[in-house]
Amino acid sequence: MSTEIRQLPVEQAPLMAKIAATAHSHPMSENTIASCFGNFYRCYGAFDGDLLMGFIILHQLFEEATVMDICLAPESQGQGWGKALMQTGIDWLKQTEAEQLMLEVRAGNASAIGLYQKLGFVVTGERKGYYKTADGTEDAVLMSLPLV
């Protein structure tokens, strides 16, 4: 894997939305993604040359930070890109005032939950029926990582 992780500008929002549409059953819209570029947000992308393979959107408000989305193009999944994006976000947040990083993940996404646990996240709760699915809903697992 030859990756480069770079901070993303808002001009990448259309491409981020296309990647999200291929990877998520209910992705954020391009407008919602574009709204995640501001004072309280940081977006990083994983690149193979000039090709954006995936991204992470972080939101930080004072000492709490949240992974708003992490998304990889389907052909890029399982190759370490997600770990590289998460680690870049964690490293950046450790340089700020953030004390913890929180996220939620579909209960059925065992590979993502495993990655987060390897990075030190712990399960802190759940939201019953939080995510929409083709035939109903799926629970969300809430996770947190102490940064200090």
Torsion of CA 26, 121, 78, 128, to 10 degrees: -30
Structure tokens that stand for 30 in this block? 């391009």
- Ligand-binding annotation for 31, yes or no, is no
| Residue 116 designated active-site | yes
Torsions phi, psi of 103, nearest 5?
A: -160, 165
> At 31, phi and psi to the nearest 5?
-65, -40
Exactly one of 4, 11, 97, 116 is catalytic; which is it?
116
Instruction: Return per-residue pLDDT of the chain as tens, 148 residues.
Output: 567 999 999 999 999 999 999 998 889 999 999 999 999 999 999 999 999 999 999 999 999 999 999 999 999 998 999 999 999 999 999 999 899 999 999 999 999 999 999 999 999 999 999 998 888 999 999 999 999 9
Domains of the chain: 4-146 (3.40.630.30)
Say what the pLDDT of residue 2 is.
65
**Catalytic site includes residue 63:** no
N-to-C CA span, the chain: 30
3-class DSSP assignment, residue 59: strand
The reported pLDDT for the residue numbered 25 is 86
Phi, psi of 4 (to 5 degrees): -135, 125
Which residue among the candidates 44, 104, 131, 138 is catalytic per the annotation? Answer: 104
Beta bridge partners of 36: none
**Minimal CA–CA distance to 33: which of 48, 3, 11?**
11
DSSP of 65-92 = EEEEEEEE-GGGTTSSHHHHHHHHHHHH
